[in-house]
A and B are shown apart, each in its own frame.
Chain A
Amino acid sequence: MEQPNLSYIQSMSGGNEEFEQKLIGIIKKEFPLEKQEYRGNISAGNYKLAASNVHKLKHKISILGLERSYEVAVNYEDSLIEHKTDGQEDFEAILQIMTDFLKTL
């Protein structure tokens, strides 16, 4: 499975390491909350709200350079909108990879 990276963050920071750290800090703070909200909505069967959560999480997936995972998330979001959970396991795996990666930063 592909691994997260900081290429995008470094490319748009213009070498500003202070900003890079600030952005990583924001992601580390925001990501667990979004993940928690998503899981809550999935557990409650609120698939439309869960789709919105996935939509927001997609941005962080792309920020961390997970291009193929982004496509998985796009398809999963579409499934949730149709009240289906196809792709849930793959999406959970992506969340786990991101969680693990953020712990290393």
Chain B
Amino acid sequence: MNCIIIDDEATARAIIAQLCTNIPELNVLEEFPNAIQAIKYLNQNEVDLIFLDIHMPDFTGFDFIETLKNPPKIVLTTSDPNFAIQAFEYDCIVDYLVKPIGLERFSKAIDKAKAVKSPTKTKAASDKVETSSGNDLYVNIDRRLIKIDIPSIYLVEAKGDYIHVKTEDKNYTVHSTLKKIEEKLPDSLFLKVHRSYIINVDKIIDIEDNSVLIKKDVIPVSRSNRPELMKRLNLL
């Protein structure tokens, strides 16, 4: 089982990693001091099992689980036994270990994890850009995952290592790429019209020559993208 360890305490991560060395089936891929870094990793990698601390600053273990679309098996590790009841509300949680964790109890948790049928493997957590439901997109800004209503987005603009996401109410600057967000936005609504711009086709006000007007923004349309844009329009 490929696993990762998420705990803000280096001592705890070292202990869990050491306990894992006693179980030949376990392969520790990575260790993370916070949930945000783990979410980024999970957006690119699949794991079978997560050892997850609950009590972490800014983003708790339960917050982390809520961001996962298809969570893998999770073993909670905590110094606080009071969260056990809440833990059982999540199908993905296979066991709950109270620190300090002994080898015998740890082995039992792994036996439980092996016995539980694996949920659909998750590749994606909510990274900088990830949908948690059909209409939501979570973006990572200042270590907070902020929910954006997808249909409210009218423009995404690439600027160096960042993208500007413009919505009806607010604009967001996110450290990500146009390619990444393009994968998360529904094709039915959004179209890349230029190497630096994705637009919400429903929000177009007018089109003139090689540009479109969206809200107050005039966006260039590249020659290669223009045919696709024209196809999407309900022309009279």
- Inter-subunit contact B55/A27 (CB<8 Å): no
Does B100 sit at the interface, judged by CB under 8 A? Answer: yes
- Inter-subunit contact A13/B18 (CB<8 Å): yes
- Inter-subunit contact A52/B14 (CB<8 Å): no
Q: Using Cβ atoms and an 8 Å threshold, which residues of chain B touch A58?
A: 79
Q: Using Cβ atoms and an 8 Å threshold, which residues of chain A touch B18?
A: 12-13, 16, 19, 23
Q: Mark B12-34, 1 if CB is under 8 A from A, else 0.
A: 10110011001000000000000
Number of A-B contacts (CB under 8 A): 52
**Residues of A58-102 whose CB lies within 8 A of B:** 58-60, 62-63
- Inter-subunit contact B11/A55 (CB<8 Å): no
Q: Mark B78-103, 1 if CB is under 8 A from A, else 0.
A: 01100000000000000000011111
Does A44 sit at the interface, judged by CB under 8 A? Answer: no
B57 (CB) vs chain A CBs: closest residue: A52
Count residues of chain B with CB under 8 A from any CB of chain A.
Answer: 19
Instruction: Write the nearest CB–CB distance from A22 to chain B, whole angstroms.
Output: 7
Does B213 sit at the interface, judged by CB under 8 A? Answer: no
Other-chain contact of B102, A12, A23, A56 (Cβ < 8 Å)? A12
- Inter-subunit contact B9/A59 (CB<8 Å): yes
- Inter-subunit contact B79/A55 (CB<8 Å): yes
- Inter-subunit contact B100/A63 (CB<8 Å): yes
- Inter-subunit contact B102/A60 (CB<8 Å): no
A residues in contact (CB < 8 Å) with B? 8, 11-14, 16, 19, 22-23, 26-27, 29-30, 52, 55-56, 58-60, 62-63
29 A–B contacts, CB within 8 A, in A order: A8-B100, A11-B102, A11-B103, A12-B15, A12-B18, A12-B19, A12-B100, A13-B18, A14-B103, A16-B18, A19-B18, A23-B14, A23-B18, A26-B10, A26-B11, A27-B11, A52-B57, A56-B8, A56-B9, A56-B79, A58-B79, A59-B9, A59-B11, A59-B12, A59-B79, A59-B99, A59-B100, A62-B79, A63-B100
B residues in contact (CB < 8 Å) with A? 8-12, 14-15, 18-19, 22, 55, 57, 79-80, 99-103
